[in-house]
Homo-oligomer: A and B are copies of this chain.
Amino acid sequence: MEFNDHMQAALEEARAAARRGEVPVGAVLVSPEGAIVARAGNRTRELSDPTAHAEILVIRARCAELQSERLPGHDLYVTLEPCAMCATALSAARIRRLYYGAPDSKSGGVAHGARVFTHPQCHHAPEIYDGIAEADAAALLRNFFAPRR
């Protein structure tokens, strides 16, 4: 299934992030034609940039490529429930569909906490599909944080 392939690509990015010592979250952006057009894992440490979450990086990369502030028809796959920053950026970029893996009760902003897409101050909400390859995404995070706790 296509959406599983896309999430597998996001999981590869999450694993690569873990190898760099970054929180293992990965994302890919899929064009209206169904092609992966940007991929990234977290790089907040490497870039010394607290906004360098995987979702922000793929949005910025594709927007720069298209010279556009908006990405209509694009779908984003990410291994973890986005935080409120990333959810708001998805909205600003007019992302069509959001597919995510594991829920994030600690820092999530979609199904938890700020629930960014549920307020009238949010001017575009993507369709949301959660729990895609959830076990793999959650295991990655667990294995990353276990020795650090």
> Contact between A123 and B109 (Cβ–Cβ < 8 Å)?
no
Which of B45, B89, B105, B119 is A85 in contact with, Cβ under 8 Å? B89
Given contacts A113-B119, A121-B112, A121-B114, contact A50 B84 (CB under 8 A): no
Stretch at the interface among A6-14, A24-32, A66-74, A134-142: A66-74
Given contacts A48-B67, A50-B92, contact A107 B123 (CB under 8 A): yes
> Contact between A63 and B88 (Cβ–Cβ < 8 Å)?
no
- Taking the nearest CB of chain B, how far is it from the CB of A94, in angstroms? 8
For the complex, is A36 an interface residue (Cβ under 8 Å from B)? no
Q: Bound complex: CA of A93 vs CA of B70, how far in Å? A: 26
